[in-house]
Amino acid sequence: MYELCIKSHFSAAHHLRGYAGSCEEMHGHNWEIEVFVGGDHLDDTGMLIDFRELKRLVAHLMDQLDHKDLNTLEMFRTINPSSEHIARYLYRGLAASLTDPRITVRRVRVFETPSCSACYGEEGGGC
């Protein structure tokens, strides 16, 4: 199994509904993300996927979140935009945009701060 990782970031505000603490108030983060994709077979150029293409797909997802109030976005109207839910949203969004059947999303890790992160993976991608 080959595995690639790219890192990206976005800045956004959010608050956690129903949370008893300071995170219940509107606040912001400079979120960092790590996206891992994997596959067993390389293409004719010896690559799983071109890093530029993977970055382009991830950038499209980041554009939907960057400099936004996450609570106002459709995908977070009924669930809290927690790090866990953001990781799942990014995972599923990237999985839906990958068209090459050789490649699967393994996991997405979202860092709310440099020392606090949440990870989401399916199908044995682990975290």
**DSSP-derived secondary structure for 78-102:** SS---HHHHHHHHHHHHHHH---TT
pLDDT for position 19? 87
| Domains of the chain in sequence order | 2-120 (3.30.479.10)
Chain centroid to CA 36: how far? 10
Split at pLDDT 50, 70, 90, the class of 99 is very high
pTM of the model: 0.93
What are the tens digits of pLDDT across the range 35-50?
A: 999 999 999 999 999 9
Q: What's the burial of 75, exposed, middle or buried (CB within 10 Å: 0-12/13-18/19+)?
A: middle
Taken in order 111, 114, 117, 119, the sign of the CA dihedral is positive
What are the tens digits of pLDDT across the range 110-121?
A: 999 999 999 999
Active-site residues, by number, are 23, 67, 112
Two tokens, residue 88: 């799942």
For 108, residues 6+ apart whose C-beta sits below 8 A from its C-beta are 33, 34, 35, 36, 87, 88, 90, 91, 94, 119, 120, 121
Two tokens, residue 17: 């509904």
